[in-house]
Amino acid sequence: MRTLSGKSRLAGILGWPVSHSRSPRLHGFWLARHGVDGAYVPLPVRPERFDVAVRGLVDLGFAGANVTIPHKEAAYALCDELSAVARRAGSVNTLVFRDGRIHGTSTDGFGFLEAVREQAPGWRASDGPAVVLGAGGAVRAVAAALLDAGCPHLTLVNRTTARAEAIARDLGGPVHVTAEPALRDAALLVNGTSLGMAGEPALEIDLSPLPPQAVVADMVYVPLETPLLAQARARGLRAIDGLGMLLHQARPGFEAWFGVAPQVDAELRDYVMADLAPDREAPQAVQRPRSEA
């Protein structure tokens, strides 16, 4: 059992609710592995108290915090400084406190790319067009990361196209918006919706038009094997679960707060997966489909 000292470095995750988050578990694993004098704690904060809470953490000497639903846009507005990645993503999921100032960045896109590279060796964003389902904050971060990594064309698919069109305008470049997916030439399909999440309907989509070398990724991580991924594997396609994104997006924050560059490996993955068993799941109304820290 680790004992904290008067010099312990502190970080946590701000959300409302926040009980569903697996971030305290994964950061706790890294803290123990590296013998860091520190702690990472869940911080349930109501939206109307978010600004006060964050400034309180600064005053208390916290090193920083992750931000999850529904605070990412509020975090973006609160920051004294924003990274270029955060400005591109239009949201913040990682706060670093230095000299009384609040620095914000987004690691969702980084986490997604690292997860796909890990689970689909040899994959490159430049391999071909990508189709991304959904129009939430994590989708914008992933879309930006794909474009910046060399994706030649990206299609955003959302039943209500207005939100996706706003993302496309902000991102610029080769982005198309539609209400129905066209998969014939896609090298990558990404589900950024809640469909397929435990307690939600399955995503109904025909994968037969996808080329045999295509990659199918799901941001959902409860369940780990979604109906979409099961369908992809049955067709011989490479399938990427949402847990990898969750694990990899945590790396930059941990390094900034605790001064150690952590690694994602099988031991960490197994440790976090042990908390995803059905009897350990949070109420379905609050379980988030994307890697929301």
Q: Which residues are catalytic?
A: 72
Rg (CA), the chain: 19
Cβ neighbours for 195, distance < 8 A, ≥ 6 positions apart:
133, 201, 202, 203, 204
Interatomic CA distance for residues 89 and 170, integer angstroms? 9
Interatomic CA distance for residues 172 and 67, integer angstroms? 26
Record the tokens describing residue 173, joined without a space: 């470049």
Residues 129, 152 contacting (CB under 8 angstroms): yes
Q: Provide the 10 A C-beta neighbour count for residue 60.
A: 9
Cβ neighbours for 177, distance < 8 A, ≥ 6 positions apart:
155, 156, 157, 158, 161, 164, 165, 168
Residues 191, 131 contacting (CB under 8 angstroms): no
Residues in the chain: 293
